[in-house]
Amino acid sequence: MLKRKSGANLLKKDTNQNVIVMSKTLIMYGNQRPLYLAFAIILLTMTSALGQQSVTGVVRDIEGQLAGVSIIVKRSNVQAISNAEGRYRILADVGDTLVFRNVGYMEKEIVVPLSLTIDVVLASAISDLDEVVVVGYGTQTRRNVTGSVSKVDMAETENLPNTNVGQALRGRVAGVQFTDNGRPGQSGSILIRGPRSLSAGNSPLIVLDGIFFNGSLDNINSNDIESMEILKDASAAAIYGSRAANGVILITSKRGKTEKPTVNVNTFYGLSDWVDRMQMLSPERYLEKSMEIRRLEGVPFDPDDPTTYLTLTEAENYRNGKVTDPFDMISQQGRIFSADASLSGKSQSTNYYLSASTARENGLVLDDNSYRTAFRVNLDNKITDWLTLGTNTMFSEIDNSGVPPNLTRAQIKSPFGNWFREDGSPAQFILSEEEGAATLNPLYDNYLATSTNFRTNLFANFYTIVDIPGIKGLTFRVNYSANYRWIRDYQAQRNDPHLPNANTSSASKRNWKAHDWVLENILDYKFKLADNHTFDITLMYGANEDSQESTTASADQLEFDAFGYNRLNVGELQTVSSSAQQVTGISSMARLNYRFKDRYLFTLTARRDGSSVFAANNKFATLPSAAFAWIASDESFLQDVNFLDLLKIRTSYGVVGNQAISPYQSVSLASITRYVYGDVSALGIYPSNIANDDLKWETTYTTNLAADFELFKGRIGGTVEVYDMDTRDLLVERTIPIMTGYSSIWTNLGRVNNRGVEFSLNTVNIRKEKFEWSSSFVFSHNRNKIVSLYGTDADGDGREDDDISNRWFIGHPITVFYDYVFDGIYQEGDELPTGYQAGFARFRDLNGDGQVEAEHDRTIVGQGGQPRYRWGITNNFRYGNFDFSIFINAMQGWIGTFNDMDFSFNSFSPMRPVNIFDFGWWTPENQSNTRPSLAYRQSTLGHNWYSNRSFIRIQDISLAYSFPSTFLTKHSLSNLSMFLSGKNLWTFTDWLGTNPESISADRYPIAKSYTLGFRIGF
Amino acid sequence: MKTLNRIKRQLYIVVLLIVGQSCSSGFLDEVPLSDYSTVGVLTSETGFEAYMTGLHKAARDEMAARDGGRYFYIMASATDVADFGITALHSVDYNNLLTPAAAHVRQVWDWAYQDMFPLANTIISYADDPDLADIWSSVEHKNAMIAEAKFFRAYTHNVLANLYGGVPIADTIYMTPKTDFLRNTREEVLQYARADLEFASQWLPTTVEQQGRIVKAAADHLLTEVCISLGEYDLAVASADKVINSGLYQLMTERFGAKLAEPGDAFSDMFRDGNQNRNSGNLESIYVWQFEDMTPGGQGGSNGNNRLRNWGPWIQRLTDPNGQAGMVRVDSLGTGTGQVRPTNYFLYDVWQDSWHNDMRNSVHNMRRVFHYTNPASAYFGQVVEPKTNPVDTMQNIYPYPRKIEGDVGTLTHTSSAWSGRTYQDFIVYRLAETYLLRAEAHFRMGDLQHAADDINVVRNRANATPIGASDVTEDFILDERARELITEEPRRRTLVRMGRLVDRVRRYSIREITANSIQEHHQWWPIPQSAIDANSSARLEQNLGY
């Protein structure tokens, strides 16, 4: 009876559903109720009579419910199919095995439990090689791609608190180096394969939804992004011609995927802290330093009486035991918060994706904050069967307002200062007897100054796709994109009421605006000849323009400071400046993709670019490329190799250009200045730029050879790639003798070679029903060397001259350090060169002539710019509904300058009361052989100090929990998960500064953070 | 049929879109939107005037663009008249002070070759361009423009010749890079300067409307010095005569100018704010760098005249006998940082014969007595007692010439650090020095009487005891220059010019390490390593000893 009852329930409840029950041959649809109901009843009665029961459940994948999944009872071959909501019902016995099958997903077998409920999540079985890849002006399946294209699926990093899309690249793509500068809301830099250019930019071209994106990655909400594709070799990048030499990153935003409108909400919140705080001298060590300096200077002091060697304020605080750590004073609690919501869906004619997001980051330094608000509308509509109109539009605004304290001021602060006045406001100088710009209280400007800094971006791409009627496969697409960027940078300094008879107020407003547009006409024709010849021809013609303008108005000595920057005309001294520039380009492109027998793949591409930034004689560049790929595993002789799912060999050769220089570099320019005659101000002009009529793009010739493989039914997959990139006619801002009147000129010269190997491997190490462990490993090595420079041999030694002035050396990487070789410290009793004393740094006399001098004793002491090796390992563990992931990122084999090791901070006045980093120093009692005495200054020889930048970092750890489908079903959710993640938790390095990865803004600390997040979809 | 028509129309629009673009000829032409081009500017007299103004600004940058004791003030510190005041372990040793990598060694070189010569040579080359012949209102006008540029070119060559010795002569502008510069001899450099100055003397106006512009006397004054360096003493005297006998200039013997109400004398009035330019009544000044508070262009690269900042003692650091802060900032003293500390030779020795009667040693011209200025100090208002701590006496309090004092400018006054900069104009050349140059020329010809006469003109104005012919020696000339011209003349270059740097540093430097470390080769500065490194196609010889 019970069984019958369940059958009756089914009929009552589910007859409105589309799919119900079926035998091998019979499918019943609920809306054809009258006819099939009877059959259903009969069937059910029959099966119940055989002792079978109704097993129910929901099938889903990571996105949501899955319709159309076939469910088969292994024993009886009874089948069912899941409905639009993923529900299914099938007759089976407890102990029977159900097989869940769907195209594109991993087959799954589950034994029917007593509960008679099986909710199942199918894992995508799409081979990496079948997924769709964006290749620029079109898409291809990975299988058919001939060039070097790496796809970054943003789903892989969705459990990480990344606010910048670039962070998803870090260490996860072979050959791509993402360097984070650690500051909130500020993107790092990206280097693909290696630096090619000596002076022009080495940043890749960013293409957002098919359009050159001149904005910043900071402005993009990373949850709006579906995937990123990195075009690495010339064949892949050649369609972007003279902009593509540094590689291309194609960013694709999300589209609607389900017919049911889907809402997704993601949010996370985290706290961050210093990874490593620079170690200043402790108060005790500070006293030691102050005395040691006096001892060296021969200035009398009494070691027992600090008043004889401290300043008045310091002595007083010392007596009162008041000490202050400057980094405590300038720090704030780091925080990160992000929330975004999206609505997406699709119908027969319309696809839409709408989102709004906010990201709020507070850095570790006081008022170093960044808030981003972003909106996106992706919408397209198929108006007729041959015409589609659409848009991808993004609005984003970043608020970086605030005046963070100056870190270089903080790091020299005496531990014995008075940071605040009696009224609680920050003092101008922490030691009132110690004045000077460098010694300003770092909190002083933070207190008196306000700043408003907004970076706004409106990026709208409109497109029309015409499927030319009558000719199958012929489409015409017009893209028009307008990108508006604004910067509002307003500053105001209030009058300090503590300074009598003085007016410290000033204010300024800088408004910057850029407008660039791209117009492209793209004709695409796909057709097949006979069975074996597939063609895809793409033609493009377009133009683009980038205009920028800015106006700055400033006022000093404001009559009233209450208006801040809003009323500059109350300033006694008012100045204005403005500037403008424009870059234009014209492009045409042709590409042929040809497949023979679906396993011999050819791509031929040519692009012709004109750019205004080049000299009149060289406006246009034509850049061709060709690629061939062979899917070897489809050949009959490899059919028998069972473990080999796929083997593809790719090779390409092509030419791409780099035009990344500022406009007007090829023409001679003059700048303006002012002077006074008597009390009359007069405009002055001076030449600022030397002309070069032949300036042109630099050209990179790339050869790429690669193998893609998939083994053991997808358990092991990967790519091995080798390349050789030869860059010629380098755009070089070459140092020239200042006796010409100019310190440098933009010119084309020389040759740089990059060779490298990239390896990526994805493995599924363990795959059990409840437990899965998968790993991915990427490794890249790039060797970069200068092959040729000016082609001169002035010294007649038979080999081409190096350029010592620019530190460019034939046969060596672009960024090397050329310096004296540190050789310990002169100890007492050593023979000392003139002007030296014990405790001074010793440098090696390379040519053994008895003295250390610039001409003969400097050499290459190390490589900077890029590491020799970059690698990353991600391990993912899944147990039931838990996912655990750990990502290790490493860069090894490079050094950097680290002049904080020097004591030249006070070469003028070493007795000034300033603090230093505590790396130790030489004294007669403690004769260090690595650190000089406090009397030593690097400027004697003009050398730098170096530190090893190699590091291995546990970059990301995350633990995520996805709620089970029963729970989701009950609450009508499509997904709900939460995650806990940690960033930058441990770094292993010898680097003496705060962050070996990014040393340009080294004084800004890198944060480690702990984040809790939720994702919910319905 | 209707549909087909529609499609045709659509295609037509698309084709228009494509073709429309390619028709826009000149789309890639590059026209700077907010930058001048040299060729574009130099098409009128106004354009040349703007370049000339740029050149004047560059000339003032010798002092104002690069701040600090190791740039302009190294012309005085570590010489006979002054030492580094603040204790600077590094710089006080000549072996560290002068190296090919030292910042100041490079900065002076770069200033000359990057700031001065290109501007001067651009004006000189373009002014003679036949295509531009029409723009000039007269040949005189054109030649005056060239003459002023040549003055600056000569000025700069002379600076280089008296620091580095022989250097590459900068006689042209470069349109393409050149990497095979060679050094000319010092004599060649000076001869080149002399030729420029002779042209300048011929064509420059005798007086100018615009204060600060170059007059004929400035060229003659410099020509006198250059001729002395070349051993052409007759010519030197003749050139000085042109200035002295022009009737335009006279030593200031009476009080004048803007600060008559304040205590002072004829000498001190020349160094009070507003009293440097000729239109202020100062008939002694010949060439004056212009500064102006709160006026665009009036500030130089580092907000003004930094003479007080560098020469003034760091009195804010002074403690009273109780060990409490003795000083607060007051406008009359400004804010010095004690970078350049006069030597005892200047503070005491040179005044011995006329301590009380030499105006230049009067209370208006030498500040030797200080009072505590901190109202919170028990010693407020009292005279600062003699100090013995070397930090105090070298850096925090010492007598100084009051020429450096000036009104604290509005912006300086309010800037975060009271940086010690003023906006007082700076006299580069004045008639007193012309007399002393002529005296030197007479002396070198053996005409001691004329030498003594010229020196006595200067001494008489100062009420110092006149000297006789037998008193004139090279050392006496240097003493007199110190008394008259301290903080004005680039003392180091004077000593180098006379070949007297090394022996006088050994004799007069009050820092033992400075006196002991200087060696013969320090007479000349090293050629900057950056210049040698960049000159890839030829060897730019380094000076001996470096």
- Do B294 and A557 make contact, defined as CB atoms within 8 angstroms? yes
- The reported pLDDT for the residue numbered B20 is 43
* Between residues A1016 and A158, the one the model is more confident about: A1016
d(CA A789, CA A793): 11
Average pLDDT over residues A164-180: 80
Q: Enumerate the H helices of A670-746 as residue ranges.
A: none
Where residue A165 falls among pLDDT bands split at 50, 70, 90?
A: confident
Which one of B416, B425, B540 would you mutate to disrupt binding with A, by most A Cβ within 10 Å of its Cβ? B416
Chain A residue numbers with beta carbons less than 8 Å from the beta carbon of B390 are 298-299
How far A513 CA lies from chain B's nearest CA (Å)?
15
pLDDT the model gives residue A25: 36
B494 C-beta neighbours (distance < 10 Å), count: 25
- Give the predicted TM-score (pTM) of the model: 0.78
Amino acid at the residue A398: I
Interface with chain B: mutation pick from A661, A677, A681, highest number of B CBs within 10 Å: A677
- pLDDT class for A163, splitting at 50, 70, 90? confident
Whether B89 sits inside 8 A of A476 (CB atoms) is no
* Enclosing H/E stretch for A983: strand A975-989
Q: How far is A950 from chain B (nearest CA, A)?
A: 30
- Residue B16 burial class via C-beta count within 10 angstroms: exposed 0-12, middle 13-18, buried 19 and up: exposed
Identity of the residue in B41, B517, B534 whose CB atom sits nearest the CB atom of A737: B534
**pLDDT tens for residues B276-318?**
999 999 999 999 999 998 888 888 656 688 888 889 998 888 8
Would you say A353 and A436 are in contact if contact means Cβ atoms under 8 Å apart? no
pLDDT for res A965: 80
Q: What ipTM was assigned to the predicted interfaces of this complex?
A: 0.92
Q: B480, B476, B369: which is closest to B433 by C-alpha?
A: B480
Subunit contact B178:A740, Cβ cutoff 8 A: yes
Chain A partners within 8 Å of B102 (Cβ): 939, 942
Instruction: With cut-offs at 50, 70 and 90, classify the pLDDT of residue A29.
Output: very low
Instruction: Name every chain B residue with its beta carbon within 8 A of the beta carbon of A904.
Output: 90
Tens of pLDDT, residues A858-894 = 999 998 888 999 999 999 999 988 999 999 999 999 9
| Residue indicated by tokens 């997040």 | A1013
Query: How many angstroms separate the CA of residue A315 from the nearest CA in chain B?
Result: 11
Chain B, nearest residue to A523 by Cα: B14
Question: What pLDDT score was predicted for residue A127?
Answer: 54
With a cut of 60, say whether residue A53 has pLDDT above it: yes
**Cα separation, B290 vs B276, whole angstroms:** 9
- Residues A978-990: what's their mean pLDDT? 92
Q: Which residues pair with A644 in a beta bridge?
A: A711
Nearest to B327 by CA among A432, A414, A909, A912: A432
State whether B34 and A556 contact (CB < 8 Å). Answer: no
* pLDDT at residue A244, as a whole number: 81
Are A544 and A517 spatial neighbours (Cβ–Cβ below 8 Å)? yes
Tokens of B276: 């440097």
Q: Given this model, what pLDDT does residue B14 score?
A: 47
CA-wise closest residue to B374 among B322, B417, B301, B306: B322
* CB pair distance less than 8 Å for A673 and B316: no
Give the count of Cβ contacts less than 8 A between chain A and B. 334
How many Å apart are CA A211 and CA A929, to the nearest integer? 57
**CA closest to A677 among chain B residues:** B211
pLDDT in tens, A524-536: 999 998 888 999 9
pLDDT in tens, chain B (546 residues): 455 555 555 444 444 444 444 434 577 887 777 777 777 788 899 999 999 999 999 999 998 876 655 577 889 999 999 998 876 656 788 988 899 988 889 999 999 999 999 999 999 999 999 989 899 999 999 999 999 999 999 999 999 999 999 999 999 998 888 889 999 999 999 999 999 999 999 999 999 999 999 999 999 999 999 999 999 999 999 999 999 999 999 999 999 998 999 999 999 999 999 999 999 999 999 999 999 988 888 886 566 888 888 899 988 888 899 888 888 878 788 888 888 999 999 999 999 989 999 999 999 999 999 999 999 999 999 999 999 888 889 989 999 999 999 887 776 555 444 567 788 999 999 999 999 999 999 999 999 999 999 999 999 999 999 999 999 999 999 999 999 999 999 999 999 999 999 999 999 999 998 999 999 999 999 999 989 988 988 899 999 998
Q: Do B38 and A835 touch (CB under 8 A)?
A: no
> For the ranges A24-28, A376-380, A421-425, A794-798, which has the lowest average pLDDT?
A24-28
Give the C-alpha separation, A797 to A168, whole Å.
49
Q: What's the token pair of residue B477?
A: 């000339």
Average pLDDT over residues A293-300: 84
Question: In this complex, do B177 and A734 lie within 8 Å of one another by their Cβ atoms?
Answer: yes
Q: What is the mean pLDDT of the segment spanning A99-123?
A: 82
What's the confidence (pLDDT) of residue A906? Answer: 57
Instruction: Sort out which chain B residues have CB atoms less than 8 A from A940's CB and list them.
Output: 90, 95-96, 99, 101
d(CA B445, CA B511): 36
Q: Judge: B536–A794 Cβ closer than 8 Å, yes or no.
A: yes
Residues whose CB is less than 8 angstroms from the CB of residue A506 and which lie 6 or more positions away in sequence, other chains included: A492, A493, A554, A555, A556, A557, A558, A571
Report the pLDDT averaged over residues A286-300: 88
What secondary structure letter does DSSP report for B376? T
Which residues in chain B have their CB less than 8 angstroms from residue A743's CB? 110, 114
Of B18, B54, B416, the CB nearest to A684: B54
How sure is the predictor about A22, in pLDDT bands with cuts at 50, 70 and 90?
very low
Task: Kindly report the nearest CA distance between residue A519 and chain B, in angstroms.
Answer: 9
Residue percentage of chain A with pLDDT more than 90: 42
Task: Determine the pLDDT at residue A697.
Answer: 84
Closest alpha carbon to B510 in B204, B111, B118, B81: B81
When pLDDT is averaged across residues A484-494 and rounded to a whole number, the result is: 94
Among B35, B103, B532, the residue with its CB nearest the CB of A669 is: B35
β-strand partners of A248: A205, A231
Residues near A836 by beta carbon (within 8 Å), at least 6 away in sequence: A826
Is residue A137 predicted with pLDDT exceeding 80? yes
Most confident of the ranges A8-22, A317-331, A889-903, B439-453: B439-453
Q: What pLDDT does residue B23 have? A: 39
Angstrom distance (rounded) from CA A743 to CA A802: 18
Nearest Cα of chain B lies from the Cα of A1003 at a distance, in angstroms, of 23
CA of B539 vs chain A CAs: smallest distance (Å): 8
Q: Do B35 and A671 touch (CB under 8 A)?
A: yes
Asked if the Cβ–Cβ distance from B416 to A428 is below 8 Å, we say: yes
Minimal C-alpha gap between A940 and chain B (Å): 5
CB contact under 8 A, A835 and B93: yes
Chain B residue with CA closest to A582: the answer is B33
A244-253, A433-442, B283-292: the lowest-pLDDT one: A433-442
Residues from chain B contacting residue A670 (CB–CB below 8 Å) = 35-38, 41
